[in-house]
Structure 1
Amino acid sequence: MKGDGKNKKCLAYVAIFIVFQIIVITAFALTVMKVKGPKVRFGAIVAENFSSPAANSPSLSLNLVTKFAVKNTNFGHFKYQNSTVTIYYRGQAIGTADIPQGKAKARSTRRTDVTININTDKLSGSTNLGNDINSGFVPLTSEATLKGKVELMKIIKKNKSGKMSCSMSVNLKNSNIQDLKCK
C-alpha cells in the first residue's frame, strides 16, 4: 500500500514533465521555427552627377547612391541570389543596378552600397517629363525582388523572397531626393 502513493506521485511528476515539454516545444515551433521573408528597403538616397536638362529637349541624368538594406527577422540566416533594382519614371524603366548575392545573418540587417545610373534618354513615346522638370520635381518609383533561402539550424531550408516598392521625388532645385516611401 505504501508503494501505491509513491507510484501515483511518480506518474504525476512524469505527466507534469510531459505537459511542460509539449508547451516548450510548441512555443519553440511557433517562434523560432516560423520563417518569414526578409524586408528589403532603400536607406537614404543621394543624387550625384546631376545634369541639368536642356530647354528644348527635356532630359534628366543623375546617379542615385543608396544603401540597399536586407532585414532578416528570422533565427536563421538568409542567403539571397543576384538581383536587380529598377528605377521607373511613370512606368518606364530609366535605370537599373545589380544587387550582388549575399547573406543576411540571423536577426540582423545587411546593407549594401548601390549606385543606380538614371537617364531619361531611354524613355519612349510622349511623356510628361518636360512638365515635371518645369515644376521642379520628377517622380520616380523603384522595384526589386530578392529571392533566396532561410536556413534554420543547418537542417531546415525554406525558399523565401523579399519585395521592395518605393516612391520618391527628385527635387531639381537642390538635387535632393525627397518623399522616399518604401513598402
Structure 2
Amino acid sequence: MKGGGNKKCLAYVAIFIVFQIIVITIFALTVLKIKGPKVRFQTVTASNFNSGSPSSPSFSADLVTKFAVKNTNFGHFKYPNSTVSILYDGQVIGSTDVPSQKAKARSTRRTDITISISSDKLTGTTNLTSAINAGVVNLTSESTLKGKVEIMKIIKKNKSGKMSCTMSLNLSTKAVENLMCK
C-alpha cells in the first residue's frame, strides 16, 4: 500500500510540472514577445496655405498632424526626441521634432505636431510645375522612433518603429487627402 501512495504523489508532481511548463510557455510566447511600436499619422490637415501661380510654381503650408505611437506590448515604450520629415519627390520640404514620451502598455500615445512645409527647400529639377498645374501635390512622410520597451522593470529591450505615409495636398480645396500609412 505504501508503494501506491508514492506513485500517486509522483503522478501529481509530474502533472504539476507539465502544467507549469505549459503556463511558462504561454507566458513567454505572449507577454514576453516584444515588438516594435506602430507609428502613424492618424489625421493631417493643412493651415496657413499659400500657393504660387503656374508661372511661379510654389507652395507652403503648416501640416497639423495627430502623430500616434501604438504600443502592443505588455510593458511601456519610452522613446527620446525624434524627427518627422515631409518629402516631395524624395526631397525634404519640412521636418519637426517629436518630443520624447512614453507610450503605456497596450495603448496608443497621440501627440499633436505641426510641420511647416515649403517648396522653397527643393533643389534641382522636379516635376513641381506639372503637379501644381494638375492641382495636386503628392507628399510622403518618414520617421523612425527608437526607444526601449520595459516589462515589469526587469526586461528591457531596444525596439524601433518606422513610419511611411503618403498623402495628397489638393491645391484647390487646400486640404490633405488620401492619407495612407504603412
TM-score tier (shorter): over 0.9
Q: What secondary structure sits across from 2:77 in the alignment?
A: strand
- What are the Cα deviations for residues 46-85 of structure 1, in whole angstroms up to 9, with x where unaligned? 0100012134211101010011000000000000010000
Query: What is the distance in 1 between the residues matched to 2:27 and 2:54?
Result: 64
> What TM-score, normalized to structure 1?
0.98
Q: Summarize the alignment of residues 83-162 of structure 1 with structure 2, pairs less than 5 Å apart.
A: 83-162=82-161
Separation in 2 of the partners of 1:23 and 1:88? 49
Alpha-carbon distance in 2 for matches of 1:173, 1:157: 49
Question: 1:22-50: per-residue Cα shift (whole Å, max 9, x none)?
Answer: 00001000100010000000011101000
CA distance in 2, matches of 1:134, 1:56: 10
Tell me how far apart the structure 2 counterparts of residues 105 and 84 of structure 1 sit (CA, whole Å). Answer: 21
Q: Structure 2-normalised TM-score?
A: 0.98
Looking at structure 2, the residues matched to 147 and 19 of structure 1 have their Cα atoms a distance apart, in angstroms, of: 39
In structure 2, stretches of 5+ residues that fail to align are none
Work out whether residues 51 and 57 of structure 2, in 8 Å CA contact, stay in contact via their aligned partners in 1: no
TM-superposed deviation, 1:87: 0.4
2:32 match: 33
The residue aligned with 1:163 is 162
Q: Judge which range, 45-54 or 146-155, deviates more.
A: 45-54
Report the AA paired with residue 146 of structure 1.
L
Question: Does structure 1 retain, via aligned residues, the 8 Å contact 2:54–2:133?
Answer: no
Aligned mates of 1:66, 1:54 — CA distance in 2: 27
d(CA) in 2 for partners of 1:11 and 1:56? 89
| 1:5 equivalent in structure 2 | 4
**Secondary structure at 1:70's aligned position in 2?**
strand
1:50 correspondence with 2:72: no
For the residue of structure 1 that corresponds to 2:10, the secondary structure is helix
Alpha-carbon distance in structure 2 between the residues aligned to 1:116 and 1:176:
15
In the aligned structure 2, how far is the partner of 1:8 from the partner of 1:29?
31
Larger mean CA deviation between 139-148 and 51-60 belongs to 51-60
Once the 2 structures are TM-superposed, how far is the Cα of residue 173 of structure 1 from its aligned partner? 1.1
Deviation (angstroms), 1:163: 0.2
> What are the ranges of 5 or more consecutive residues in structure 1 without an aligned counterpart?
none
Range 106-115 or range 47-56, more displaced: 47-56
Which stretches of structure 1, 4 residues or more, deviate above 4 A after TM superposition? none
- The 10-residue stretch of structure 1 (67-76 or 52-61) with the greater mean CA deviation from structure 2: 52-61
Give SS of 1:103's match: strand
Aligned to 1:73: 72
User: What secondary structure, in the 3-state scheme, does the structure 1 residue paired with 2:53 have?
Assistant: coil
Q: 3-state DSSP class of the match of 1:116? A: strand
Following the alignment from structure 1 to structure 2, what is the Cα–Cα distance between the partners of residues 63 and 53? 16
